Amino acid sequence: MSTLGLLSGIYWQDLSGIKERHAAGTDVNGIDANGRTPLVEAILGGTGYPAVVKLLLELKADPNLQDTHGYTPWLANLSMMGNPVTAKEQSKIRKLLQDAGANRQGEEIFELQTLAGNGELEAVRALLDRGATVETAFCSPLGAALFAGHLAIAELLLQNGANPEGSDSTGLSPMMHAADMGLLPAVQLLEKYGANVSRSMDGEEGCMTAAWYARQSGKDEVANWLARQHPAAERCRIPQSALNNGPKAKYLELYRKYTNGHNYELSTDAIVRQLSTWDKHYGIYVHNVEADRITVQFATLPANLDKLVKEIDKFCPDVISQHFGILHEQASQFLAHDREVPNDLSELLYGLDPQHKRFGHQVLARWLHTHRAVELWWD
């Protein structure tokens, strides 16, 4: 039987329910869709649930079973012990695990991380000589050393097998973190040991490389050095015109967030070109910038909004097709459930025919007239 029901019992500390589901065949040592065992989930979830841990151990949950992320119950508990919010619950859980004879193998990784972050080179060397694990998916002594500026320790860890790409293949790499912080010596050390300067957070052909993070943080020395290492290290450089109060400075955040509408073949530059045109005619301000959306506020509006509405629809069709063009359906839902349509929605739709071919344009025009702003998005 799936562990899902058991896990829901963990979150609500439903001890009776856990017992019932276990009696019905739920495996207390199963692995859920996120790679967690029930016991590890009871330790890492929330502040930790001592009563649930106690029950699971009584139901013969294995106190040494490792989940797919590398956590054993003991290591999961240790990873939470430094948090004062969870200290009380985790101390109780630690005692339960000790009484159950939990294997403490691998706990030196936390000591290694602390020593690396504190700059204690010889102590780090001694731990490594005794065979300490150099990193895990949830603990990075290399990162601790790098970001505290202890490069000799970082190099020692790299020499002993620490991955210069980091242990998390989906998150920011150590080089991206170091570049974002402007730590050129750390970036150079990672490159020396094989870190990929062209690795991107947004796909093989994406722009969000270490150089991109450096540039958007104003760490141009780091970005320039990376760009010299490989042509693909900076594939989407922030233009100079957007930096240092240049003519495109008001769009800097779009370049920093790599705002795009690739599903409509819109690059950041293409979006900026359209915004610049509107800025010339009406004056605009850009807010709430994300990778796939922005809010545009207009300083002035033309007396006849038809042309602007058509431009918005062409530029960002989702504004009509996913929002203004279907607001009558939202109003209908209120009525279908015997609820009053909100005044602002009612006023926006008043007198308009949802069957009219330009219904969405008419609603958007009313919205602009009232708010002088519109959110654009490209899902």
Which whole number is the average pLDDT over 250-278?
90
**How does residue 31 score in pLDDT terms, banded at 50, 70 and 90?**
confident
- Is it the case that residue 239 has pLDDT exceeding 80? yes
Segment 293-341, tens digit of pLDDT: 999 999 999 999 999 999 999 999 999 999 999 999 988 988 888 888 8
Average confidence score pLDDT of the chain: 91
| Strand stretches in the chain, DSSP E | 284-287, 293-298, 373-377
Pick from 11-20, 132-141, 289-298: least confident? 11-20
Q: Using the predicted structure, report yes or no on whether residue 150 has a pLDDT greater than 80.
A: yes
Does 266 lie in the same domain as 222? Answer: no
pLDDT score of 255 more than 60 = yes
Picking from 55, 82, 99, the residue at the C-terminal end of a domain is 99
Do 267 and 232 reside in the same domain of the chain?
no
Domain count, the chain: 3
Q: Are residues 280 and 213 in the same domain?
A: no
| Entry pTM | 0.63
Sorting pLDDT into bands at 50, 70 and 90, what band is 77?
A: very high
26 within some domain: yes
Q: Are 219 and 176 in contact (CB under 8 A)?
A: no
Structural domain contains residue 36:
yes
Query: What is the C-alpha separation between 43 and 30, in angstroms, rounded?
Result: 15
Same domain for 14 and 55, yes or no, is yes
Boundary residue ending a domain (216, 237, 258): 237
Instruction: Give the other-Cβ count within 10 Å of 7's Cβ.
Output: 22
Please tell me whether residues 189 and 275 are part of one structural domain: no
Q: Are residues 168 and 50 in the same domain?
A: no
Q: Which residues contact 351 (CB under 8 A, 6 or more apart)?
A: none
Per cent of the chain over pLDDT 70 is: 97
Alpha-carbon dihedral 284, 290, 291, 294, rounded to 10 degrees: -30
State whether 233 and 253 are in the same domain.
Answer: no
- CB atoms < 10 A from the CB of 35, how many? 12
Whether 68 and 169 share a structural domain: no
Is the pLDDT at 203 greater than 70? The verdict is: yes
Q: Which helix (H) or strand (E) holds 177?
A: helix 174-181
Choose the weakest-confidence range: 57-61, 104-108, 237-241.
237-241
Q: At what angle do helices 306-315 and 268-282 cross, to 10 degrees?
A: 170
**The domain that contains 183 carries what CATH number?**
1.25.40.20
* pLDDT > 70? residue 354: yes
- From 99, 125, 154, the end of a domain falls on 99
Mean pLDDT score, 249-269: 88
**Does any domain span residue 109?**
no
My answer on whether 360 and 265 are in the same domain is: yes
The residue-averaged pLDDT of 192-219 equals 88
78 and 47 together in one domain: yes
| Residue 13 binned pLDDT confidence (cut-offs 50, 70, 90) | confident
Residue 125 within any structural domain of the chain: no
Between residues 207 and 8, which one has the greater pLDDT? 207
Query: Based on the domain organization, do 42 and 81 belong to the same domain?
Result: yes
Indicate if 342 and 322 belong to the same structural domain.
Answer: yes
The band of 52, judged by pLDDT with boundaries at 50, 70 and 90, is very high
Q: Residue 306 domain-assigned?
A: yes
Whether residue 104 lies inside any domain: the answer is: no
- Pair 223, 211: CB distance under 8 Å: yes
Domain assignment present for residue 128? The answer is no
User: Within a domain: residue 205?
Assistant: yes
* Domain that includes residue 373, residue range: 249-377
From CA 86, how far away is CA 102, in angstroms rounded? 20
Is residue 1 over pLDDT 50? no
Most confident of 14-18, 131-135, 234-238: 131-135
